Amino acid sequence: MSGEPPVILTCAQPTNQLTLGNYLGAIRNWAQMIEGHTCYFGLVDLHAITSDYTPAELRKNTFDCAAQYLACGLDPERSHIFVQSHVTGHTELAWVLGCITPIGDLQRMTQFKEKAAKLGFSVSDQENELKFAHEGARAQASVNSGLLFYPVLMAADILLYNADVVPTGDDQKQHLELCRDLAKRFNHRYSDTFTIPEPAISKSASRIMSLQEPTKKMSKSDPDPLASIYIIDNPKLIRKKIMSAVTDSGSEIRAANDKPGVTNLMTILGAISGESTDAIEQRFIGKGYGDFKVEVAESVVELLSPIQERYHAYCADKTYVNGVLKAGAEAAQKRAYKTLGKVYRKAGFIERIR
Ligand code: TYM
C-alpha cells in the first residue's frame, strides 16, 4: 500500500441527526482534508447499537446522516463514504484485537465510565470493577458488553484501513490512544502489520459544549431538547435554542473558566467567523448577552442554511445517496479484505481453499 497519498479514516455514529458540534469539531475539517489524502468516511451503525435504539430509527438516521455528510461537503467523487455494516472485516478484526486487549484498559475508558454511570453503575478506579452506584440501578438496564468493547471496534475501524491520520473532536483522544497501543501490540506480537495512526484533533472547536449544561459536551443523544443544535434544525428553532442557552452570572462577554456558557457561545461564534476570542471580547465591550446571542444565532443560521438546502435535495434523491454508499462500500471492502487477509495469516488461521 505504498506510493499512495496518506490515508484518512474517520467516522460518526448515526445515533441521531448530526449536531453543530459534529460539524464544527469534525466534519467541516474532514471536508478540508480531502485534498491530498485518500479518505474513508464511515457511518458506524454497529457502534450505534451499543446504546438504546429502535431499528426503524437507526435505518432512518443512517440514511439521513449519509445525506448530511454530503451536504456538509464530503465529496463522494474524491472520498469514500460507507456504512460500517456494509463492509466485512470491522467486527472480525475487532475480535482479533479484543484477544490482545486487557479488560482493565477498557474499564478505564472515560466514555465507558460515563455511559455506565448514566445507567446507574460506577467503575471503581482501584478495582476496575463494575458496581451498582445505588440500589435503584439494579432495576435499570444492564451495561451491555458492546459498550465495554466499543473502543476495540473503533480501533478495528481505523486499523482495517491502515489509516495514517484520524481527524476527530477532542472527546475521541483516549480511544485513539488505545487504538495506537493495540496496533503496536499487534505489530510486536505478530510482526509489522499496522500503520500507527496519528490523531488530528481540530484546533478551533474541538469540544462544543451543551447549551444547557455547558460543562458537558454537546451530544446527539442528549434528552434535553434545548441542549444540542442539530444541523438540520430550522432557523426558528436554532434562534430559540441559542437565545435560551445558559449564560453565566455577570454581564460581560468574556471567555473564562467561571463563564462556561458564554465561553462556549464565543467558541461557536469564533469557529464560524474565524475571529479570535480577543477580537470577539473587544467587539462586545459594553454590550449585553442579548446582542451577543442574537449575533451567535444569526451566524449559526447563516452557516447551516446552505447545508440544509443541500440536505433536503439529497433526501429527495435516494437513488443518488444509495449509489454513493454502494460505491463507498465497494472501495472500503477492497481495502478491508487486504488488511483482514494479512491479519488472519499472521494470526495463524489457515487459508480457505476456493
Ligand atoms: P461521534 O459520532 O460521537 O462524533 C463524530 C465526530 O464528531 C466529534 N464530536 C465533537 N466535536 C466537537 N464538539 C462536540 N460536542 C462533538 N461531539 C462529537 C467527534 O469527536 C467525532 O470526531 N466513537 C466515535 C465514532 C467512531 C470513530 C471510529 C471515529 C467509531 N469508529 C473510527 C474515528 C475513527 C463517535 O462516537 O463519534
Atom of ligand 1 nearest to the CA of 167: 22
pLDDT interval class at 128 (50, 70, 90)? low
Greatest alpha-carbon pair distance for the chain in Å reads 76
Helix (H, G, I), strand (E, B), or coil: what is residue 100?
coil
- Cα separation, 236 vs 158, in Å, equals 39
Question: Would you call 203 a catalytic residue per the annotation?
Answer: no
| Element (DSSP H or E) covering residue 60 | helix 55-71
pLDDT at 135 over 70: no
Rounded to an integer, the average pLDDT of 220-246 is 97
The pLDDT of residue 4 is 86
Residue 154: Cβ within 10 Å count: 23
> What are the DSSP E strand ranges found in the chain?
7-12, 38-43, 80-83, 121-123, 130-132, 165-168, 198-201
User: Nearest 5°: CA angle at 285, between 280 and 289?
Assistant: 80
Confidence tier at 131 by pLDDT (50, 70, 90)? low
Q: What is the pLDDT of residues 66-118, one digit of tens each?
A: 999 999 999 999 999 999 999 999 999 999 999 999 999 999 999 999 888 88
For the cut 80, the answer to whether the pLDDT of residue 130 exceeds it is: no
pLDDT, tens only, 151-187: 999 999 999 999 999 999 999 999 999 999 999 999 9
Average pLDDT, the chain: 94
Per residue in 19-41, pLDDT tens? 999 999 999 999 999 999 999 99
Is residue 120 within 8 A of residue 133, CB to CB? The reply is yes
Cα of first residue to Cα of last residue in the chain, in angstroms, is: 25
- C-alpha grid cell for residue 173? 483522544
Query: Helix/strand/coil (H, E, C) string of 110-173?
Result: HHHHHHHHHCCEEECCCCCCEEECCHHHHHCCCCCHHHHHHHHHHHHHHHCCCCCEEEECHHHH
Percent pLDDT > 90 in the chain is 88
Give 166 Cα–ligand 1 centroid separation in angstroms: 11
DSSP state of 25: I
| CA of residue 170 to ligand 1 center, whole Å | 8
Eight-state DSSP code of residue 77? T
**pLDDT for 126:** 54
Rounded to whole angstroms, the Cα distance separating 107 from 129 reads 8
Handedness of CA 199, 205, 211, 212 (dihedral sign): positive
Residue with cell 463522494: 76
| Cell of residue 270, nine digits | 469564533
Query: For residue 21, how far is its CA from the centre of ligand 1 (angstroms)?
Result: 9
Ligand 1 atom nearest to CA at 170 = 20
Q: Tell me the torsion sign for CA atoms 80, 82, 84, 89.
A: negative
> CB under 6 Å to ligand 1: residues?
9-13, 21-22, 25-26, 44, 47, 154, 157-158, 166, 168-169, 171-172, 205-208, 217-218
Among candidates 41, 40, 39, 35, which has minimal Cα distance to 14? 41
> Residue 168 is placed in which grid cell?
476527530
Instruction: Determine the average pLDDT of the residues in 305-311.
Output: 98
Note if 184 is an active site residue: no
Q: Report, in angstroms and rounded to the nearest whole number, the Rg of the chain calculated over CA atoms.
A: 21
Q: Atom 19 (ligand 1): residue with closest C-alpha?
A: 169
Catalytic site includes residue 220: yes
| Of residues 93, 284, 107, the one with CA closest to residue 190 | 93
The pLDDT value recorded for residue 203 is 85
Q: Compute the distance between CA of residue 182 and CA of residue 159 in angstroms, rounded to an integer.
A: 9
Torsion of CA 51, 57, 61, 64, to 10 degrees: -170
pLDDT of 139 over the 70 cut: no
Whether pLDDT at 129 is above 70: no
> Is the pTM above the cut of 0.75?
yes
Decide if 228 contacts 210 (C-beta within 8 A): yes
pLDDT of residue 118: 83
Per-residue pLDDT tens for 322-351?
999 999 999 999 999 999 999 999 999 999
Question: C-alpha distances in angstroms, 344 versus 31, 96, 101, 340?
Answer: 33, 9, 17, 6
